[in-house]
Amino acid sequence: MKIVGISACSAGIAHTYIAKQKLIDAAKKAGDTINMETQGTIGTEDALTPAQIDAADVVLLAVDVKISGRERFEGKRVIEVSTDTAIKSPNKLLEKVHQVIGK
C-alpha cells in the first residue's frame, strides 16, 4: 500500500518527528511505502509532491493541530489520528488502515 501523511504536534518539535519515524518504521515492517511531511516550528519539511499524493492509496494524518495544505488531499481517503496514537501504536494503526482500505 502507498501511504502519504503529515505529522504535526502542538509544540511542533519532538512528537512531530517521533510520530513520523514510528510510522515510517511500521510501514517498512508492513511492506508499505510511505512519504511523511512534517509541519512544525521550523516550517514544513519533506513536503509531499502532487505525484506522491496522486499515487497514494491513503492519507494518514498524525496531527494534534490544524495543518496547512489539507486541500491537497481532496478526493483521497484520509485517516486522522493523534500523534500519541502514531507513537504508541504505529503497527496496530497500520493494521487498521489496511482493514479500512482493504489492501
Say what the pTM is: 0.94
Q: Cell for 82?
A: 493523534
Chain segment 44-82, per-residue pLDDT in tens? 999 999 999 999 999 999 999 999 999 999 999 999 999
CATH number of the CATH domain containing 82:
3.40.50.2300
Segment 17-35 shows an average pLDDT of 97
**How confident is the prediction for the chain on average, in pLDDT?**
95
pLDDT at 103 over 90: no
Establish if 102 belongs to a structural domain: no
pLDDT at 1 over 80: yes
Establish if 103 belongs to a structural domain: no
Helix %, strand %, coil % of the chain (to 5):
45, 25, 30
Question: Is residue 46 flagged as an active site residue?
Answer: no
User: 64: which DSSP letter?
Assistant: S
Give the model's confidence band at 24: pLDDT under 50 very low, under 70 low, under 90 confident, else very high. Answer: very high
Provide the pLDDT for residue 42.
86
Segment 80-95 shows an average pLDDT of 97
35: containing domain = 2-86
Establish if 82 belongs to a structural domain: yes
Helix (H) or strand (E) holding 5: strand 2-8
**Count of the separate structural domains present in the chain:** 1
Which is catalytic among the residues 6, 8, 9, 36?
Answer: 9
